[in-house]
Chains A and B, each alone.
Chain A
Amino acid sequence: MESDVLGRIAPNSTPVQAEMIAYAGVVPKVGDYVVIDSEESQLLGMVSNVVRGALELARSDLLQANYYDTILEVVGSPSDWLKATIRMIGVLSRSELAGLPRAPPPTGALVRKAPADLLRRIFAPPEGREGIKLGKLLTRGDVVVHLDPDELISRHLAVLAVTGGGKSNSVAVILEEIVRMGGVAILFDVHSEYTGMTLGCPHCEVETVDPVLDPNTLTVEELGSLLGVTYDNAPKQFIYLKAAYRRAKELLIRERLGEYLRRTEIEAEMDDLLAGMQAIIQLSLREKDSDDRFLIAFPSNDRGSIESLLAKVDFVRSKYGRVLRPAAGELVDHLNYGKLVIVDLGQLDSDLTDIVVGKTLYTILMRAKLKRIGRGYEDFPTPVFAVLEEAHALIPSVEHTYTSSAAASIAKEGRKFGVGLCLVSQRPKRLNSDVLSQMVNKIILRVVEPEDQAYVRRATEFLSEEMVSYLPSLDVGEAVVVGPMVRIPALVKVRLFEGKRGGESMKAYEMWREGLKKRLSASPDEYYDSIGG
């Protein structure tokens, strides 16, 4: 028998799936690619499940292992049998892959391991272009898997796994490859995991930026979100917020905002829109019956609402003063070709993170759109690949956030304007299902929680039940890769990121030992000095 022969097709196959009975001694593995001899062509399939049994032990009444001992003592080694489930991937026509077969493979058809040459062709980069070198096939270490960057940008990506499953490494590998190609990438680093990241290639640039927002660039809705004032939850306050916003904007244009700031003695730059709004609200309360048209007239019974609004503006300004900086420019101004921009969101709370990410995503989409239709921003670098870490916190399934809206817009329109989105999460079931299902490409590493598995299964077109059941047993860095960025679903061992990345797992033991060594080597005086004794 040829060494690559695995078995033969059993009865009851369908155009989508078939069962293979293996030859004695042959052990097919989940994720193996196989070629099936069909009538006029060959079919390519993937082993999605393998069942093993032993003829002598196939009895339901053997409920104690002692019986196994007895039987094995009598028969020696049992007569193993193996049955593999094969998911059809496509028809091979002159070694090229076409769509799914229209007819099932013939019963008894020979099943062989897919040749490495064929797999290399399938997982090679698109002709004449470079691909994103993600790693190697899990079951075939001699086949490198490349992702198609065009499909990655236009059909988006979700990277899903438990903590420690290898998400960050996968993201780092993809970003490194994109930037190496000259791509434009932005990473929203919620836990400051990537701070200090470097990339291996000579022209690659990484810039870590603090999250600053120019309040003057915020819309009234964005400001409302920041303040927790929306038309739905506080309609009266929202109306007065809008009035203050409009007046402050006009004063800014007329360069008279500083005048109002001085009257209230609010410490701020003269062109700070939010400070200007605070001044207008404060003066409106203080000079209630003034005929200054830039102050807000209100009936007495609304005083409470306006005072409350003033308190919120004051609170947000003092809390987020470090981030809300007039004329600070936009985060997207840092984007460039061959460059990765890391937005370090580690010190922000969830509300401000939502505003910063949502605002930046909207800005990217808006600029890309205007560039595409020739209405400005000709120099804005596109396509852009935007990566959201902790996506389940920013785009949750249970509530609507600013980032959810921005992500939904990119998921819908990004393809046309060259904005690709990548959501990274360890809790897929908490991710907004509409947005997740539009991340057509997926890299699914180890997922243990059954509800997460079911959720991923529902949201993923190419993922079979058997492959889902395989997810908990994946080792670190092993992934199911599906979507148009790879021509066929693949089980991949993601390569190690070659550059330097922060956020590796904490080495507690080493840190403690080092600290103890330092303490013991210090003189007693130094020690007490250092602890203030």
Chain B
Amino acid sequence: MVVESGLPFESIEEAVIEARSRVSSFLFPKSGVEGDALLSVIRREWRGGIGRGEIERIAAIDGSNNSDYFTLGQIIFVVSASLFMKDSEPVVARKYQIGVMDDYHYRERVSFCRETMEVKMALRSLELEPEILLMDGSFLAMVDRGLWSTPYGQKVPYPMRRILREVESALGVDLTQGLVSHTHLMDISSRIEEIVSSVLEDEKGRPPERDEVKRAMAFIERYEVLSSLNELLRRGRGTLVAVAKRSGSRLYFNSRLPDMEVVRRYTSLESGYLSPKSAELRFPQYSGIDDTYRIMLTYARLETATNPLRVEVVGDADESFLEELLGSLAKYSVRGYPYHLRRVHELAKIGRDLMSHLARNLLVPEVSGRERLGE
């Protein structure tokens, strides 16, 4: 027998029904103050229709990564970066980097490797002199992340500055060079680990914790991404364009809903774009990179009844350039997405099945049976 406590004992169905209208008005604020304000911005800033641009020499860069447990605590990762460019004949390039690392926050660290490779492939592609170099994603998002590897606040703590200096001097290479991530190369990574351990022990007067070593290593790996990106932004001004299919950014409307959702929900289904908004790309202070870049940000629907895209152009692009750019992208779009990006994605893709096959059959085939996890 149950004794009444005086406290509520709700039915889940009744609670949901009761909350339904509030949830709905929160998710879909079409009417009301917020909805009206968004609609008014859209009416003012949305440019209906996209013409046909004349830009032909368009290149696109994308990367992919995947990883698999090799043994307990050890990860094999495969990362790729690809280029596809339409010239008189298609131009393609692809580079892979394969390595092993501890499983300590490995997803984030493998993604650093991918970002580095993408940025470096873009840097090398600039030599092919494309009129437009498309990258998948967002430059702003690439520098602006609350990452496990950067828990040091805005300022770089002294030991990190020293580690960076010693690593750069010990490696003797410019981290922005080449096509692969230097800090993820297995021999260099071991070397970095030694330097990090030694500096931390020296600074702290005790052997460092494993967590401290790995965080510092991740910081160096992240630094390679940012320094390479800085080089790319510096050299690729006026050429670089980032296109994102998904984005949670609220920079344009400063609304409760992400910008992309606002565009999707409040614009008609016809093609068009928002008048560009200027934003400043600033590297996090802890990176020690002081350069800033102007980014023109817009959202565009390249084809009727397709999902909008977020488009970032590096440099002071005016609206007429934006029109020309979007017109050229629309000309080569399939289902509202630039085909160059789709193609380069296909070239770079490392699927789960492929990764599993590579890890099991090609990478270290002599390790099998009980030695392989999950076998």
Q: Across the interface, do A75 and B343 meet the contact criterion of CB distance under 8 Å? A: yes
What's the nearest-Cβ distance from chain B to residue A182, in Å?
A: 64
What's the nearest-Cβ distance from chain A to residue B302, in Å?
A: 11
Q: Across the interface, do B346 and A74 meet the contact criterion of CB distance under 8 Å? A: no
Q: Contact mask A72-102 → B, CB, 8 Å, 1/0?
A: 0111100000000000000000000000000
Contacts of B339 in A (CB 8 A): 70-71, 74
Instruction: From A56, A71, A74, A76, name the one whose CB has the most chain B CB atoms within 10 angstroms.
Output: A74
Pick from A62, A67, A74: contact of B340, CB under 8 Å? A74
- Is B332's beta carbon under 8 Å from chain A? yes
Q: A67-B335, A70-B333 are in contact. Are A75 and B346 (CB under 8 A)?
A: no
Compute how far the CA of A74 lies from the CA of B91 in the bound complex, rounded to whole angstroms: 10
Q: Contact mask B322-354 → A, CB, 8 Å, 1/0?
A: 000000000111110001100100100000000
Q: Which residue of A lies closest to B92 (CB)?
A: A75
- Is A117's beta carbon under 8 Å from chain B? no
Compute how far the CA of A62 lies from the CA of B335 in the bound complex, rounded to whole angstroms: 8
Interface SS, B side: mixed
Contacts of A67 in B (CB 8 A): 334-335
Q: Contact mask B262-303 → A, CB, 8 Å, 1/0?
A: 000000000000000000000000000000000000000000
Q: A55-B346, A56-B343 are in contact. Are A74 and B332 (CB under 8 A)?
A: yes
- Is B73's beta carbon under 8 Å from chain A? no
Q: Across the interface, do A61 and B335 meet the contact criterion of CB distance under 8 Å? A: yes
Contacts of A73 in B (CB 8 A): 332
What's the nearest-Cβ distance from chain B to residue A389, in Å?
A: 57
Instruction: From B90, B333, B334, name the one whose CB has the most chain A CB atoms within 10 angstroms.
Output: B334
- Is B375's beta carbon under 8 Å from chain A? no
- Is B209's beta carbon under 8 Å from chain A? no
Interface residues of A in 272-296 (CB under 8 A from B): none
Q: Contact mask B12-23 → A, CB, 8 Å, 1/0?
A: 000000000000
Q: Which residue of B lies closest to A73 (CB)?
A: B332
| Contact count band on A | 10 to 19
Contacts of A71 in B (CB 8 A): 334, 339
Contacts of B332 in A (CB 8 A): 70, 73-74
Contacts of B90 in A (CB 8 A): 74-76
Compute how far the CA of A304 lies from the CA of B335 in the bound complex, rounded to whole angstroms: 85
Compute how far the CA of A74 lies from the CA of B337 in the bound complex, rounded to whole angstroms: 13
Interface residues of A in 425-471 (CB under 8 A from B): none
What's the nearest-Cβ distance from chain A to residue B307, in Å?
A: 12
What's the nearest-Cβ distance from chain B to residue A141, in Å?
A: 37
Interface residues of A in 36-65 (CB under 8 A from B): 55-56, 61-62
Compute how far the CA of A106 lies from the CA of B289 in the bound complex, rounded to whole angstroms: 57
- Is B127's beta carbon under 8 Å from chain A? no
Compute how far the CA of A364 lies from the CA of B86 in the bound complex, rounded to whole angstroms: 77
Contacts of B211 in A (CB 8 A): none
Compute how far the CA of A51 lies from the CA of B103 in the bound complex, rounded to whole angstroms: 43
Contacts of A55 in B (CB 8 A): 346
- Is B318's beta carbon under 8 Å from chain A? no
- Is B89's beta carbon under 8 Å from chain A? yes
Compute how far the CA of A76 lies from the CA of B86 in the bound complex, rounded to whole angstroms: 9
Compute how far the CA of A71 lies from the CA of B335 in the bound complex, rounded to whole angstroms: 11
Compute how far the CA of A74 lies from the CA of B333 in the bound complex, rounded to whole angstroms: 10
Compute how far the CA of A465 lies from the CA of B13 in the bound complex, rounded to whole angstroms: 55
Q: Which residue of A lies closest to B347 (CB)?
A: A55
Contacts of A76 in B (CB 8 A): 89-90
Interface residues of B in 146-202 (CB under 8 A from A): none
Compute how far the CA of A56 lies from the CA of B339 in the bound complex, rounded to whole angstroms: 10
What's the nearest-Cβ distance from chain B to residue A314, in Å?
A: 82
Q: Across the interface, do A62 and B334 meet the contact criterion of CB distance under 8 Å? A: yes
What's the nearest-Cβ distance from chain A to residue B7, in Å?
A: 53
Q: Contact mask A201-242 → B, CB, 8 Å, 1/0?
A: 000000000000000000000000000000000000000000
Contacts of B333 in A (CB 8 A): 70
Compute how far the CA of A61 lies from the CA of B337 in the bound complex, rounded to whole angstroms: 12
Q: Across the interface, do B335 and A74 meet the contact criterion of CB distance under 8 Å? A: no
Q: Contact mask B247-274 → A, CB, 8 Å, 1/0?
A: 0000000000000000000000000000
What's the nearest-Cβ distance from chain A to residue B326, in Å?
A: 15
Compute how far the CA of A75 lies from the CA of B85 in the bound complex, rounded to whole angstroms: 9
Interface residues of B in 85-108 (CB under 8 A from A): 86, 89-90
Compute how far the CA of A61 lies from the CA of B303 in the bound complex, rounded to whole angstroms: 14
Interface residues of B in 52-92 (CB under 8 A from A): 86, 89-90
Q: Which residue of A lies closest to B331 (CB)?
A: A70
Q: A61-B335, A62-B334 are in contact. Are A74 and B89 (CB under 8 A)?
A: no
Q: Across the interface, do B334 and A70 meet the contact criterion of CB distance under 8 Å? A: yes
Compute how far the CA of A398 lies from the CA of B332 in the bound complex, rounded to whole angstroms: 62
Compute how far the CA of A174 lies from the CA of B333 in the bound complex, rounded to whole angstroms: 60
Q: Which residue of B lies closest to A67 (CB)?
A: B334
Compute how far the CA of A71 lies from the CA of B333 in the bound complex, rounded to whole angstroms: 8
Compute how far the CA of A494 lies from the CA of B141 in the bound complex, rounded to whole angstroms: 70
Contacts of A75 in B (CB 8 A): 86, 90, 343
Contacts of B331 in A (CB 8 A): 70
Compute how far the CA of A67 lies from the CA of B86 in the bound complex, rounded to whole angstroms: 16
Contacts of A62 in B (CB 8 A): 334-335
What's the nearest-Cβ distance from chain A to residue B329, in Å?
A: 11
Compute how far the CA of A67 lies from the CA of B333 in the bound complex, rounded to whole angstroms: 8
What's the nearest-Cβ distance from chain A to residue B26, in Å?
A: 32
What's the nearest-Cβ distance from chain A to residue B350, in Å?
A: 16
What's the nearest-Cβ distance from chain A to residue B142, in Å?
A: 26
Q: Which residue of A lies closest to B335 (CB)?
A: A61
Compute how far the CA of A71 lies from the CA of B339 in the bound complex, rounded to whole angstroms: 7
Compute how far the CA of A75 lies from the CA of B344 in the bound complex, rounded to whole angstroms: 11
Contacts of B340 in A (CB 8 A): 74
Contacts of B89 in A (CB 8 A): 76
Compute how far the CA of A55 lies from the CA of B347 in the bound complex, rounded to whole angstroms: 11
Compute how far the CA of A473 lies from the CA of B86 in the bound complex, rounded to whole angstroms: 40
Compute how far the CA of A352 lies from the CA of B332 in the bound complex, rounded to whole angstroms: 73
Q: Which residue of A lies closest to B85 (CB)?
A: A74
Compute how far the CA of A368 lies from the CA of B333 in the bound complex, rounded to whole angstroms: 78
Compute how far the CA of A71 lies from the CA of B334 in the bound complex, rounded to whole angstroms: 8
Compute how far the CA of A61 lies from the CA of B334 in the bound complex, rounded to whole angstroms: 9
Compute how far the CA of A137 lies from the CA of B308 in the bound complex, rounded to whole angstroms: 57
Compute how far the CA of A345 lies from the CA of B279 in the bound complex, rounded to whole angstroms: 95
What's the nearest-Cβ distance from chain B to residue A57, in Å?
A: 10
Compute how far the CA of A76 lies from the CA of B174 in the bound complex, rounded to whole angstroms: 38
Compute how far the CA of A314 lies from the CA of B109 in the bound complex, rounded to whole angstroms: 105
What's the nearest-Cβ distance from chain A to residue B93, in Å?
A: 15
What's the nearest-Cβ distance from chain B to residue A24, in Å?
A: 15
Compute how far the CA of A73 lies from the CA of B346 in the bound complex, rounded to whole angstroms: 17
Q: Which residue of B lies closest to A66 (CB)?
A: B334
Q: Which residue of B lies closest to A68 (CB)?
A: B334
Compute how far the CA of A70 lies from the CA of B343 in the bound complex, rounded to whole angstroms: 12
What's the nearest-Cβ distance from chain A to residue B353, in Å?
A: 13
Compute how far the CA of A56 lies from the CA of B332 in the bound complex, rounded to whole angstroms: 14
What's the nearest-Cβ distance from chain B to residue A62, in Å?
A: 7
Q: Contact mask A129-146 → B, CB, 8 Å, 1/0?
A: 000000000000000000
Q: Which residue of A lies closest to B88 (CB)?
A: A76
Compute how far the CA of A56 lies from the CA of B343 in the bound complex, rounded to whole angstroms: 7
Compute how far the CA of A76 lies from the CA of B333 in the bound complex, rounded to whole angstroms: 15
Q: Which residue of A lies closest to B339 (CB)?
A: A74
What's the nearest-Cβ distance from chain A to residue B89, in Å?
A: 6
What's the nearest-Cβ distance from chain A to residue B334, in Å?
A: 5
What's the nearest-Cβ distance from chain A to residue B332, in Å?
A: 6
What's the nearest-Cβ distance from chain A to residue B100, in Å?
A: 28
Contacts of A74 in B (CB 8 A): 86, 90, 332, 339-340, 343
Q: Which residue of B lies closest to A61 (CB)?
A: B335
Given contact pairs A62-B335, A73-B332, A75-B343, a sample of 4 additional A-B residue pairs in the complex whose CB atoms are under 8 Å apart? A56-B343, A62-B334, A71-B339, A74-B343
Which 7 pairs of residues, A with B, have the shortest CB-CB distance? A67-B334, A74-B339, A74-B86, A75-B90, A61-B335, A70-B334, A74-B332
Subset of 27 A-B contacts with CB under 8 Å? A55-B346, A56-B343, A56-B346, A61-B335, A62-B334, A62-B335, A67-B334, A67-B335, A70-B331, A70-B332, A70-B333, A70-B334, A70-B339, A71-B334, A71-B339, A73-B332, A74-B86, A74-B90, A74-B332, A74-B339, A74-B340, A74-B343, A75-B86, A75-B90, A75-B343, A76-B89, A76-B90
